[in-house]
Homo-oligomer: A and B are copies of this chain.
Amino acid sequence: MVKRSKHYRRKFVPGTPPGTLTADHDASPTNIQIMAYGPDSFTEAVLTSVDEIRDYLGKWPNLWINVDGLSNVPAISAIGQMFNLHPLALEDTLNLHQRPKMEDYGDHLFAVCQMVNNSDCSELDFEQVSIFMGKGFVISFQERAGDCWNPIRERIRRGAGKRLRLTGSDYLLYALLDSTIDNFFPAMENFGDHLDSLEDMALGKPGKEVMAQIQNTKRTLYGIRRAVWPLREALTQIAAHEDLMTAETRVFMRDCQDHIIQLLDIIESYRERSSGLVDIYLSSLSNRMNEVMKVLAIITTIFMPLTFIAGIYGMNFENMPELHAKNGYYIIMSAMGVIAVLMIIAFRRIGWLGSIEKS
C-alpha cells in the first residue's frame, strides 16, 4: 500500500528561485550508462565521468544515456548543459512525485512518468522516470538502479538490421515508454488477486481493520490512476510533435496509447470493485448482527416461558393443588419439554435455526 500522506512531501522551500537544482536528501548514488548504436554497429559503457559522453557525441546515429540515482547534482547539471536541456525540466527531474507529463522545449521533448518496480501489490513501489529526447539522443533519469528496460537493451544489442536499430531516437523513446506502461499489467493482475482476497475477508472475517484495508486499497488505486491517467494526454502530445516524431513511430505511439486506455479500463473496474467491497463489508456486518440477535432471541424465547412456569410452582401459596398431585412434577416437566420442542419447531419453520452458521 502507498504509505499515508508521505507521498506529498516536497523538499524545496517555498520561494526558492525556479530552476534551482537540489538533490533529495536520500537520493541514490548516481550511475551513468551509455548505449550508442546505428543500423550496423553498437557499443555500450558505464561512464565514470560525464565528459566521456563527448567521445560518443556526433559519432553515432543514436545515443541512449541512462542515469540511475539522482544524488550527483553537478553531473546531472553537466549533462543538462551538454544537451542544452531546459533548467525547469531538470528541476522537475530532481523533484520527485511529479505528475506524469510531457513538455515540448522546441529542440527536445521532456517526459516524466512513473515506473512500477515490483508487481507485489501489497507494497506497490513507484519510481519516477524522466526522459529527454532530441535528434539523435535519449537521456533517461531514474530514481534508483533497476528497471524494466533490459529487454530493450537486449534488442539493441542483438537487433542488427531490426527496427529498433534502423530507426531514430523517437522510436527508442516509444520503446521505453511502451515497456514502462506494459510493466503495469502484471502489477494489476496481482492487484486483482489482492481484491479477491479482500472480498473474501469482507464476506467472512469480522474486525474493523477490514474496512481500513479496503480504504487503503481504494487509495492505492487512486494513486495508480494518478500515475497513469495524465500519460494519456502526454502521449498524444508526444505523438503530435512535428519535428521529432516520424510518421512511422506515430503509429506505434497510437498502439501504446491503446495500452494506456486498456490500463485505465482495468483501474476503473478495480475502483468499482473496491467501492462494492464497502457495500459487501457493511452488509456482512449487518448479517452477522442478525445472526447474533437470532441466537439471543431463540434462547430468550425458549427459556423465558419455561423459567416462568418453574417460578409459578416455586410460589409458596398454601392452596396449590398441583403441588400435592402425585405426578404433578412429572406432568409439568413434560409440559415444559413439549413447549421447548414446539418453540424449536416454530423457529425452524421461520428459518431462524437453519440460517445460524458459524459467523
Contact = CB atoms under 8 A, between A and B. Distances in A.
Interface of A: 4-5, 8-10, 12-18, 86, 88, 92, 97-99, 101, 103, 148-152, 155, 162-164, 178-179, 182-183, 185-186, 188-189, 192-193, 195-196, 199, 203, 206-212, 214-215, 218-219, 222-223, 226, 251-252, 254-255, 258, 261-262, 265-266, 269, 272-273, 276-290, 292-297, 299-301, 303-308, 310-320, 322-329, 332-333, 349-352, 355, 358-359
Given A5-B193, A226-B269, A296-B301, A15 B148 contact: yes
A284 B208 contact: yes
Interface of A is mostly: helix
Nearest to A310: B311
Contact of A14 (B12, B92, B179): B179
Contacts of A255: 18, 88, 92
A209 B193 CA distance: 19
A10 B94 CA distance: 34
Which of A210, A308, A325 has the most chain B CB atoms closer than 10 A to its own CB? A308
A327 B218 CA distance: 65
Given A196-B5, A206-B290, A269-B226, A178 B359 contact: no
Which of A10, A209, A327, A333 has the most chain B CB atoms closer than 10 A to its own CB? A10
A318 to B, nearest CB: 5
A199 to B, nearest CB: 7
12 contacts: A8-B188, A8-B192, A12-B182, A14-B185, A14-B186, A203-B209, A206-B287, A207-B287, A285-B286, A303-B307, A314-B315, A349-B358
